[in-house]
Structure 1
Amino acid sequence: MRFLVSPCAYKGTLSALQLCEAIARGIREALPASEISMAPIADGGDGTLDALHAAIGGEFHYVETVDAIGRPVRAKWLHIDQTAVVELACASGLATLLRDNKLNALQAHTYGLGQVTRDALLTRPQYLFVCVGGSASTDGGAGMLTALGAEFLNERGQPVELGGEHLSSVRSCNLKEVKRLIDASGVSSIKVAVDVDNPLLGDYGAAAVYGPQKGAGLEHVKLLNDGLTQLAQVLEAEVGRECKDSPGAGAAGGTAFGVSIALGAEMISGFSWLSSVMNLEEKIRHCDVVITAEGCLDDQSMSGKALGELAKLCKLYGKQLWAVPAMAESDIDWKSQGVDKILTTSSHGKLADEMSVQAAAYDLCKL
């Protein structure tokens, strides 16, 4: 039997590459004669750089910056020929805050992502990809833009503090320094790779749908949505075009909106882009079974995210899709969603590790 091992990362615990190796060990133990290929995947969120590097190589560059709540962190970006690829989750991600019990939905920001992006632009790439997803903040990308030189001012003409809770006080912005930086870099194309198709605002927007998983209560969700509304009004007036209703604008707490409106970036599907680069469809065509993984398998997994898109490809080519998520919602008929077999790897409050993933892969092969 021919297996394609194609997992996403378990945020904050196991990388997609670690999951690949653990799943492969489980398969070999259960079915020693099997052929196994590995293709770690991502959708613009956690693990995108690692999946891209595994597929086509490149050189990592490291930047000393801050995380979403201002703590020192070492982040990275990927340089491939004339292309720079930046991943939000490396600098401003949710995973480390969850691990450390430090969620702060109101004060979290994307300033670190902006510093990493600046570092990438200073190498004068021809193409820039900003991969958003797995964010801890709902700041509309204002923190990132501030790090790139933007000024967001309140009614007294004073700088507005970082964090989503302060966006409602934004009355004007100045993007001249951002434009100078972009022009000086010589970059000819900027794309923002998104992992969801939500608009920026409203019941299906960034704050309402994803704010709660970042620690926002109901009153916080309204505050954050109001702040994003004000930010959008100011930025769209400054730039002279609208973007807030575009599918994907709500990705990463609205960071996709900020990158698109202020940098003129085109929004693209992170999964579609990465799967094309790594020739994923061809790999699926030449296997019998695909085994994937994700930290938490829930209804959001099927909305533009990697596992949902992978399920569509498996259905297209008539391939079985098996999954070993750390956790999964039990009230969803996963078979109807395209997941033929599923075993979780975390139980009774114990975090999943490589041994539990290997055991789950073994058991799937024996079912």
Structure 2
Amino acid sequence: MVGAGIFVALGPAAGAAGSAAGLLTALGAAAVVACANATASARLAALHPESGGTYVYGRERLGPFWGYLAGWAFVVGKTASCAAMALTVGSYLWPERAHAVAVASVVALTAVNYRGVQKSALLTRVVVAGVLAVLAAVVTACLAGSPGVRYGLGGEVTAGGVLQAAGLLFFAFAGYARIATLGEEVRDPARTIPRAVPLALGLALAVYALVAVAALGVLGPVGLTLSPAPLADAVRAAGAAALVPVVAAGAVVAALGSLLSLVLGVSRTVLAMARDGFLPRGLAAVHPVFRVPHRAELAVGAVVAVVAATADVRGAIGFSSFGVLVYYGIANASAWTLGGRGRALALVGLAGCAALAVALPPGAVAAGAGVLAVGVVAYGVSPGRPGRPMPGRPGRPRP
């Protein structure tokens, strides 16, 4: 969670919220929904300790279609996340050529993934430690720097603005369920996962709140909205221009690290769905030397590169948030079937996901709904749908 999202999501969210109070309220609302989602994911992961996340939970708790829809929403939402991460690299590294840098980043990391190179646990710790150090420097510079607010603190708080901002900020929280999706690799998942997820979420929220307050103190919501690289501009406005290259380096490292993991995760979900017959089976091929789903990785890389070349970062964030909110909506619906004391929180999470999804910018909602509709149609004709004959076995239905 503590990665590239915080470097880029504050700008679009501030534009939607319209005021400092609205932005901070939206951050709290996004955290509440994320907490409900995290709890649902943790409960489900403890009961179904299999890799795959809501793709597995929806299938097991609600039926094959809902598992498929969760997987489809994950693929399309996280593909947009990949584009947003690539555009973050461009915005901080070379703003005038942001799209070209974004495409180059996607090509380079797709090549790295193709050869089976992954982030080690040690590298992940180093990246997170570096990002936290950069964010601490941003907070310190802003709080100790210019006492004024460049553009004012904004106007009236509206419910629609807060909900839209919360939906956009939800993009920055994505990541807490990564623990749950690795259920097969965690020791004692029934005990470890329910503790790890809320702890990670709480720490990330504290960091985000500090950074948001600090950035608002020097730029205000309008300044954040106008900036393609809000944290770099925040330290510049605070009179600490020497920190701008440091902040840019932190954003680039965080975004590249996130992009590497995201491309890997999306390609593995594509692999699983192709094996189940929900996507073209050719995408399930595994490279004989590098032992990676090379066709899935190339397909994901190509789509991400096209999106990064044609979309802006705000549109990519909105579209990503829509897909991910649908994904977690299905997770909460799955958790509701477990009963017990967590049922009420699952309903809160489901309602929260729905409210934030429909409050996103209209273009993101329309595009997201259209892509989901394409997925539903594809499910209806896919060989993986229960009751359809399995390939190579005419007349024999899939179990």
User: Which structure's residues are more often helix, by fraction?
Assistant: 2
Bigger RCO of structures 1 and 2 (CA < 8 A, at least 6 apart): 2
Q: TM-score, normalised by structure 1?
A: 0.30
Q: TM-score, normalised by structure 2?
A: 0.28
User: Which structure's residues are more often strand, by fraction?
Assistant: 1
